[in-house]
Amino acid sequence: MTTTEHLQRMAAPTGAIMPGVLRAEWTKLTSLRSTRWLLLITVLLALVVSAVVTSVYASQYDQDFAARHTIDPAYWSLTGLIFAQLGVGVLGVLTMSGEYGTGLISTTFTAVPQRRTVLVAKAVVVSAVALVVGAVSSLGAFLLGQLVLSGKHIGAGIGDPGVLRAVTGGGLYLAVLAVLALSLGALVRHSAGAIATVLGLLYVLPAIGAILPPSWQDTAVPYFPGNAGLAILHAVPMANAAAPWTGFAAFCAYAALAFTAALYVLPRRDALPK
């Protein structure tokens, strides 16, 4: 059954029912080739970058005094998620903005006049996909990284303090990121602009924060969106970083704020941007 047929079958006098909307959104998301490519890129980046980073740390460990005294082998293994998050961010944006670009959003809103229901369904579907892919990527990167680090006997076990939280946190972080990106796609409604906004939050803003005065480094910078969310990947407490769950809570607050804004404006706009 095509996406259009799904949508047409949901159009009924009594309005849309969430299970039907969820099925339609699942069909739309999984039928796109771009979805499969973005998820594959996410997993590959997590694995490849983590393998490279842990190999570099392992090769420099004996000569690097700082590395021996700030060791966080779990985080070293999960650094690939810093790059892998790009795939999920783009997927989240395109889940909403892609329909504006193709004009399918008009069909969607005709079949399901309750626009907030559509947005909630999209958020559930894309965050669930991101959670699963994030969990697979995080666990795979961790195991691969520990395999590399075991040669120096500096690996971490899943039962070590903070490690299980860091590994599971990768999936949680990407799930929330998907909702944030989806919300930005709904607010901006143009793929390029929304993706640029996501990139700015995840990469540009932390880079700017790195050159801000020390007083900002200790207070505001750890709570920039990207920095706050990635704090959950640290098994060992880091200086100038938010506590793992505190940072993740702040990141969830950013996503909730963006999602609330999207829920507010979606019914008040024309289906297609002028």
Hey, where are the domains in the chain?
A: 31-267
pTM of the model: 0.90
Q: How far apart are CA 218 and CA 231, in angstroms?
A: 14
Give residue 12's pLDDT.
45
The whole-number pLDDT of residue 274 equals 56
Q: What is the distance between the alpha carbons of residues 18 and 28, in angstroms, rounded to a whole number? A: 15
* Short-list 169, 142, 178, CA closest to 249: 169
pLDDT for the residue 218: 79
Contact at 8 Å (CB) between 71 and 236? yes
Concatenated DSSP letters of the chain: --HHHHHHHH--TT---HHHHHHHHHHHHHH-HHHHHHHHHHHHHHHHHHHHHHHHHHHHTTT-HHHHHS--HHHHHHTHHHHHHHHHHHHHHHHHHHHHHHTHHHHHHHH---HHHHHHHHHHHHHHHHHHHHHHHHHHHHHHHHHHHGGGT----TTSTTHHHHHHHHHHHHHHHHHHHHHHHHHH--HHHHHHHHHIIIIIHHHHHTTS-HHHHHHTGGGSHHHHHHGGG-SS--TTS--HHHHHHHHHHHHHHHHHHHHHHGGGS-SS--
What confidence score (pLDDT) does residue 14 get?
A: 37
Task: Return averaged pLDDT per consecutive 10 residues of the chain, 274 residues in all.
Answer: 50 61 94 95 97 87 60 90 97 95 88 91 98 97 92 82 95 98 96 97 92 84 94 88 94 98 91 62
In this prediction, residue 153 carries a pLDDT of 77
44's CB contacts (< 8 A; 6+ apart) are none
At 252 the pLDDT is 98
What confidence score (pLDDT) does residue 18 get?
87
